[in-house]
Amino acid sequence: MSDEVRVIINDGIMTVTINRPEAKNAVNAAVAQGIGAAMEELDRNPDVRLGILTGANNVFCSGMDLKAYARGESPFVEGRGFGGLCSLPPKKPLIAAVEGFALAGGFELAIACDLIVAGDNARFGTPEVKVGLIAGAGGLLRTSRQIPQRVAMELALTGEMISAARAYELGLINRIVNSGGALNAALTLARVITANGPLAVAASKKIICESQDWLSDEMFAQQEPLLRAIANSKDAIEGATAFAEKRRPTWVGC
């Protein structure tokens, strides 16, 4: 894997860091391929329970590297989209730990994650219209599902940034911490999640993500196969047994 994407796995948590501080962590081909490979490993490796995506030197990601793009580099990965993530997020949970700018493609990477923890210096936005482009890697598609439509429309049409405080007020991000503390806060949140049953966590994510397209008179029937699979799992028995015995469960993932 390229030095431009660093991956560390510790206690079941994969931390993926975009490491191009000289370019404000802009996404070039190497970054896209590195993130895509990390997402594949996250889903494939049974010892990894959750991922965190962040950026080096207190900047999350400033978007696509326009200079690299002009040289013919593609920041897209076939089947996974922009940055190796935006069109196909992992099945396991993914947290964005955001410091500084999360703009354009960087914003789209952040909102492709399931949870966002941000430093109070963070700024979010889709400025593509300012240069005659559109936020085509999810900035238009996802934002209106995550915040009120009129606010999403304002962001898309003006190209203006919003602060971490405003993003939190809108429900776009989960937690705000002091500048420089986003990664540690994301790790703390990750440890709470990884203490839970891995099958239940994955199924819960799947239902929340997919049920947005389910019809109200079909949604419980759509959920039933997943619910049945979890209820019949060894982990469900272990969870109930551990609760009764007042001990921490030992998950086996089946």
Catalytic residues: 108, 128
- DSSP H/E element including 79: none
Beta pairing, strands 13-18 & 5-10:
antiparallel
Strand partners, 124: 102, 162
The CA distance from 39 to 37, in Å, is 5
**Alpha-helical segments (H) within the chain:** 29-44, 66-70, 105-112, 143-146, 149-158, 164-170, 182-194, 198-210, 219-231, 234-244
The CA distance from 237 to 142, in Å, is 37
The CA distance from 127 to 50, in Å, is 30
Contact, 234 vs 252, CB < 8 A? Answer: yes
The CA distance from 118 to 73, in Å, is 30
The CA distance from 227 to 222, in Å, is 9
- 3 state SS of 221: helix
- 3 state SS of 137: coil
The tokens of 138 are what?
């999810």
Q: Which residue has the tokens 């891995």?
A: 198
